[in-house]
């Protein structure tokens, strides 16, 4: 007998995927194959249901890859993609360097402190992301708190130019994405059996070599998860480079925004988005595979 209940339960995630990912993606893909036009919406052809099958055939015939070819022709786009991937890689490494010690400290803290420390890590999420990034403008600006402080203690004579540099972008990204790095690493470190470190010491390791030989390899799943969780969204990041990075920071998210809202070239912007997604599919698939493997090994 056809088991309706089971079918329903299994279909829920697929319906979710269909509605929230495949349908929007299909729309974006369609727009990316269209031509821009001075109209509302600003592209043609549009799909006219009343024209029926003939209308669909007509629309299909008007599709072309012009926008994608344009992305290759103008080196700006390739540069923006490469620069985004590069910025995402560097920020990922910086976030790891800052996040690992924090996660390690949390895992080593007395058990009764850990919930508090965990809350401190999550606390920034309670205020708007936009406000927090704006706050960094106040800190990094030439009249900002950081410069005032450095002038006051006499380390510098003139204010440093921090805002609208790539340094500001990195600071903003590391600050914003730190919890995504800290939490998965903390989860693996907290599970780590203390006996393993004592066993390593018993077998002749110093504390430091026990850290490198036992703690680091065993926290690898958390490190990998954290790296993906930072890398994937940062590639498409838009707000931080726009607010902190100024005009010289080239990121594909900003290009996308400009094409959509400044140039109102929806088809080209959609092509940019489709390519961005294709670039990210590789790390996303790798990430899923790694998560699955980690889960299997944990059992």
Partner 1 sequence: MSEDAEKGAVPTPAFAPWDDPQAKPLIRFQGVTKKFGEFVAIDDLSLDIYEREFFALLGPSGCGKTTLMRMLAGFENPSMGGITLAGRDIVPVPPNKRPVNMMFQSYALFPHLSVADNIAFGLKRSDMAKSEIAGRVDEMLGLVQLRKFAARKPHQISGGQRQRVALARALAKAPKLLLLDEPLGALDRKLREETQFELMDIQEKLGTTFVIVTHDQEEAMTVASRVAVMDNGRLVQVDTPERIYEFPVSRYVADFIGDVNLIEGRIETLTKDCATVVWAETMPPITAGLPQGIGAGEACVFAIRPEKVTISAERPPDAVNALPGKVLDIGYLGNMSTYHVELANGQVIKSQMTNQRRLARRAFSWEDQVWVSFTATGGLILMA
**Residue with smaller CB distance to partner 1, 12 or 208:** 208
The correct pick among 196, 277, 279, 294 for binding partner 1 (CB under 8 A) is: 196
Q: Rule CB under 8 A: say whether 193 interacts with partner 1.
A: yes
Q: Rule CB under 8 A: say whether 205 interacts with partner 1.
A: yes
- For residues 63 and 207, give the distance between their C-alpha atoms in angstroms, rounded to a whole number: 64
Stretch that binds partner 1, among 13-21, 78-86, 135-143, 189-197 (CB under 8 A): 189-197
Binding mask 269-298 for partner 1 (x = CB under 8 A): ----------------------------x-
Least separation, in Å, of the C-beta of 191 and partner 1?
A: 11
Question: Could you tell me the two tokens for 28?
Answer: 């974006």
Helix (H) or strand (E) holding 239: helix 239-244
Stretch that binds partner 1, among 80-88, 163-171, 207-215, 274-282 (CB under 8 A): 207-215
Give backbone dihedrals phi and psi of 45, rounded to 5 degrees, phi first.
-80, 160
**Residue with smaller CB distance to partner 1, 95 or 188:** 188
The correct pick among 35, 66, 190, 201 for binding partner 1 (CB under 8 A) is: 201
Contact 147, 211 (CB under 8 A): no
The correct pick among 203, 262, 278, 282 for binding partner 1 (CB under 8 A) is: 203
Least separation, in Å, of the C-beta of 207 and partner 1?
A: 9
DSSP 247: T
The correct pick among 27, 72, 122, 199 for binding partner 1 (CB under 8 A) is: 199
Closest CA to 39 of 248, 267, 224: 267
Q: Rule CB under 8 A: say whether 206 interacts with partner 1.
A: yes
Least separation, in Å, of the C-beta of 261 and partner 1?
A: 49
Least separation, in Å, of the C-beta of 208 and partner 1?
A: 11
75 burial type by CB count under 10 A (0-12 exposed, 13-18 middle, 19+ buried) = exposed
Stretch that binds partner 1, among 14-22, 55-63, 197-205, 223-231 (CB under 8 A): 197-205
Q: Rule CB under 8 A: say whether 13 interacts with partner 1.
A: no
Specify the long-range contacts of residues 103-111, CB closer than 8 Å, at least 24 apart. 103/181, 103/182, 103/183, 103/185, 103/186, 103/189, 103/222, 104/185, 104/189, 104/215, 106/182, 106/186, 106/189, 106/190, 107/186, 107/189, 107/190, 107/192
The correct pick among 80, 96, 214, 223 for binding partner 1 (CB under 8 A) is: 214
Contact 284, 229 (CB under 8 A): no
**Residue with smaller CB distance to partner 1, 158 or 296:** 296
Terminal C-alpha separation, the chain = 34
Q: How many other C-beta atoms lie within 10 A of the C-beta of residue 96?
A: 19
The correct pick among 124, 217, 248, 286 for binding partner 1 (CB under 8 A) is: 217
Closest CA to 187 of 195, 179, 177: 179
Least separation, in Å, of the C-beta of 294 and partner 1?
A: 12
DSSP 142: T
Contact 297, 191 (CB under 8 A): no
Q: Give the footprint of partner 1 on this chain (CB under 8 A).
A: 193, 195-196, 198-206, 209, 213-214, 217-218, 297
């Amino acid at each position: 007998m056809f088991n309706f209940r089971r079918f329903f339960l299994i279909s829920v995630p697929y319906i979710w995927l269909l509605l929230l990912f495949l349908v929007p993606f299909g729309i974006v893909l369609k727009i990316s194959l269209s031509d821009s036009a001075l109209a509302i919406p600003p592209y043609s052809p549009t799909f006219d249901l009343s024209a029926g099958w003939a209308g669909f055939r007509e629309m299909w015939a008007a599709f072309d890859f012009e926008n994608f070819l344009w992305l290759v022709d103008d080196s700006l786009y390739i540069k923006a993609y490469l620069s985004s991937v590069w910025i995402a890689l560097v920020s990922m490494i910086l976030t790891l360097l800052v996040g690992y010690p924090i996660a390690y400290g949390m895992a080593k803290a007395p058990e009764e402190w850990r919930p508090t420390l965990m809350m401190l890590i999550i606390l920034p999420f309670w205020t708007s992301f936009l406000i927090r990034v704006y706050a960094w403008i106040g800190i990094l600006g030439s009249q900002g708190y950081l410069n005032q402080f450095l002038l006051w203690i006499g380390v510098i004579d003139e204010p440093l130019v921090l805002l609208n540099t790539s340094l500001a972008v990195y600071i903003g990204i590391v600050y914003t994405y730190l919890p995504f790095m800290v939490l998965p690493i903390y989860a693996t470190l907290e599970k780590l059996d203390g006996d393993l470190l004592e066993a390593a010491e018993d077998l002749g390791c110093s504390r430091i070599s026990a850290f490198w030989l036992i703690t680091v390899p065993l926290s690898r799943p958390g490190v990998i998860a954290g790296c993906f969780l930072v890398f994937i969204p940062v590639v498409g990041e838009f707000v931080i480079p726009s607010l902190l990075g100024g005009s010289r920071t080239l990121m594909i998210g900003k290009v996308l925004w400009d094409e959509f809202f400044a140039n109102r070239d929806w088809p080209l912007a959609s092509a940019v988005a489709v390519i961005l997604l294709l670039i990210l599919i590789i790390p996303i698939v790798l990430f899923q595979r790694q998560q699955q493997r980690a889960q299997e090994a944990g059992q």
